[in-house]
Amino acid sequence: QVQLVESGGGLVQPGGSLRLSCAASGSIFSITVMSWYRQAPGKERELVAAFNSGGSTNYADSVKGRFTIFRDNAKNTVYLQMNSLKPEDTAVYYCKVVTLTAGYWGQGTQVTVSS
């Protein structure tokens, strides 16, 4: 089992920045992928960024150059640095980790980009 605790969402003006955090505990030794998804009202959940065990990352085209996923192995935490935020980035953001046997979701954190 893996437990995830997210933090860092909030209200920000267009062009602003936020950093999301997702702290993992439990069977963290078996984690293979750590990623961030988001779901806007009326839309399907979509992958935003992912960090796999090999160290490579991938991003949705809509966030390339603006968002960065990175991790602190000592803290078992994955982060999503979001810069140059746009109103269309407004969504509930979810952390997801995948282990050798299952996937786990965080509780979600709301990000609202509005003036």
Spell out the per-residue pLDDT of the chain, length 115, in tens: 889 999 999 999 999 999 999 999 887 777 889 999 999 999 999 999 998 878 899 999 999 999 999 998 888 899 999 999 999 999 999 999 998 889 999 999 999 999 9
Give the list of residues 6+ apart from residue 6 with CB closer than 8 angstroms, or none: 20, 21, 22, 93, 94, 95, 106, 107, 108, 109
Longest dimension (CA), the chain: 43
- What pLDDT shows up at residue 70? 93
Spatial contact of 79 and 21, defined as CB atoms under 8 Å apart? yes
